Structure 1
Amino acid sequence: MIVVDFFLDPLRYDFMVRALATTVIASVVCAMLSCWLVLIGWSLMGDAVSHAVLPGVVLAYIAGAPFALGAVIFGLLAVALIGAVHSTSRVKEDAAIGIVFTTLFALGLVLISVTPSQTDLNHIIFGNLLGVSRSDLIQVAILAAIVFAALTLKRRDFTLYAFDPTHAHAIGLSPRLLGAALLGLLALTAVVALQAVGVVLIVAMLIIPGATAYLLTDRFGRMLVIAPVLAAVCSVVGLYASYHLDTASGGMVVLAQGIAFALVYLFSPWHGLVGTRLIARRRRLARQRAVL
């Protein structure tokens, strides 16, 4: 009976049901996109875009426009500025990324501080998972469906772009267009995750699931299954833990993903720290026996 109450008690509240639905949807979409970000090596770019959308979201709030519109505009603006700084100066790409995303993030903080509002806009930064309304959930579901559909329909093109952009260009695909499409989807995904964990922790949801799946399999198709499933499980575990321990919900979701990565990093059968050492030890013992 105690076990049943543990699982059913949070579901008696509508705000917990909405929070659970939002975090699962956001986690699955972020995890799916994270597979490509990890494969391409865009972890820092994911960090940049997720922070750079902040001023766009605030300006969209001021103008009464959809958050997604402002996020996409500033996400693409950030990418364009990074490319411009890198290509027209001696500044390297990682430094250009740091300069652009910190400047745009700071602009967002300034806009929040001077924007009159009856609601606390700090939830954009830190998330407000337990305050998700029905309309917020509908928006998250629609944007997530768009991103999920685009990634599913174009998964082969995106995968080819990630593995071999030159070959993609040779068969008639445009690597530049595919990269821009991924960055646009990244901006949309950032809006989806805003409701769950806020700008600060979005990057974790965009990187940890893909990195964890990468340690569990050598096949990209399996990564696209493992990462979303793992992220969804961690979302449920983190949200339940936050309810029963009375802690920050968004932080617990990301913490659960971080713990899952640590366990996989240590105990993955093929790529884990402990697993690889055990395999090396067995091979060494086998050689010694062969010599004897």
Structure 2
Amino acid sequence: MSGVLDFLVEPWDQVFMRRAFLVAIMSGVVCGVIGTHVVLRGMAFIGDAVSHAVFPGVAVAFVLQANLVVGGAVAGLVTALLVAVFSQNRRLREDTVIGVFFAGAFGLGIVILSTAPGYSGSLESFLFGSILGIGDSDVLGVALVGGAVVVSALALSKEIVTVSLDRETARSVGLPVFWLDMALYAMVTVAIVISLQAVGNVLVLALLITPAACARLLTDRLGVMTLLAPAIGALSSVVGLYLSYALDLAAGGMIVLTATVTFLVCWFLAPRHGLVSRWRARSRPSQVDGDEDDRAAAVSEEGTGASSAG
């Protein structure tokens, strides 16, 4: 028992681990809340696209020796605005417009970085995360920005869901569809940017999508899903960090793997929508029919026996 307690307490004795836990938990919560809307809308592609879209901003910030996160946020928001504008043309699907602009943004980032010698090593933390090297200012920044994103998402939740379910109905009741699209793109961008330090550009999609996908399997109610997704995201981040500390493995990768294992468990064992439950639901009618046949046979035998006795 004492060994388990020591394992749980030991990482918190390290200042860098305390910062890592705080940022990981906050990133998991923010991505869980925003990921709920992304999964409901079927926009998983946008998470990967935004992670590419922030790249030119990071490249410019690197060349100018400015803050990489701020540069990425600006680039992501500008690209999100362009997608929101061009997506209003119903001739093109939303995912098509996203693919065009975010792929173009990533290409622009590569071109910009090619002008700066020795860039690859310096951007390793951006690509794969550097959660163990986070400072106090980073923790405060994630807390403030992440809190603002969560509050905004909860305040606009009803309207964003309405637009996601039926855009034409949303327009007919007077909802500002364009601005709600823009708000969602902006929140996705910010959620991804503040999570880059935790898991990096390569893995950030998993933190945005996987916890929300788990919650989607566990409940049919949006309110419950909005609570479950951030809880799963935060728990996966904490467990992943513990495993990373104990096994001396990459923190970002362990966080994502923990979330993925959680998804697999939900996919198999979710109460109503898991594989086991669906298998039982399919087999239950035949089992009931078999039981009824057995009962009918027993009644028939009883009746025959009674007639013979008479």
Show structure 2 runs of 5+ residues with no match.
297-310
Question: Once the 2 structures are TM-superposed, how far is the Cα of residue 177 of structure 1 from its aligned partner?
Answer: 1.2
The 3 A distance-change label for structure 1 pair 164 and 78 is: closer
Contact 1:68/1:188, CA 8 A, preserved across alignment: no
Partner Cα separation in structure 1 for residue 51 and residue 155 of structure 2:
24
Question: Once the 2 structures are TM-superposed, how far is the Cα of residue 25 of structure 1 from its aligned partner?
Answer: 0.2
Could you say which residue in structure 1 is the equivalent of 2:109? Answer: 108
Question: Once the 2 structures are TM-superposed, how far is the Cα of residue 274 of structure 1 from its aligned partner?
Answer: 1.5
Partner Cα separation in structure 2 for residue 121 and residue 197 of structure 1:
13
SS at 1:173's partner residue?
coil
Moved more, 54-63 or 76-85: 76-85
Could you say which residue in structure 2 is the equivalent of 1:256? Answer: 258
The 3 A distance-change label for structure 1 pair 4 and 246 is: same
Moved more, 171-180 or 231-240: 171-180
Q: CA RMSD in A?
A: 2.6
Letter in 2 for 1:7: L
Partner Cα separation in structure 1 for residue 225 and residue 113 of structure 2:
38
SS at 1:9's partner residue?
helix
Question: Once the 2 structures are TM-superposed, how far is the Cα of residue 93 of structure 1 from its aligned partner?
Answer: 5.6
Could you say which residue in structure 2 is the equivalent of 1:19? Answer: 20
Question: Once the 2 structures are TM-superposed, how far is the Cα of residue 54 of structure 1 from its aligned partner?
Answer: 1.6
Could you say which residue in structure 2 is the equivalent of 1:280? Answer: 282
Question: Once the 2 structures are TM-superposed, how far is the Cα of residue 283 of structure 1 from its aligned partner?
Answer: 2.4
Could you say which residue in structure 2 is the equivalent of 1:55? Answer: 56
Could you say which residue in structure 2 is the equivalent of 1:80? Answer: 82
CA deviation map 1:128-157 (0-9, x unaligned): 010111111111111101101101211221
Larger Rg: 2
SS at 1:215's partner residue?
helix
Q: How is 1:77-226 mapped onto 2 (pairs within 5 angstroms)? A: 77=79, 80=82, 84=86, 94=95, 97-112=98-113, 114-115=115-116, 120-226=122-228
TM-score by length of 1: 0.90
Contact 1:30/1:189, CA 8 A, preserved across alignment: yes
Partner Cα separation in structure 2 for residue 147 and residue 37 of structure 1:
14
Letter in 2 for 1:8: V
| Matched positions, count | 291
Letter in 2 for 1:43: A
Could you say which residue in structure 2 is the equivalent of 1:229? Answer: 231
Could you say which residue in structure 1 is the equivalent of 2:301? Answer: none
The 3 A distance-change label for structure 1 pair 85 and 154 is: closer
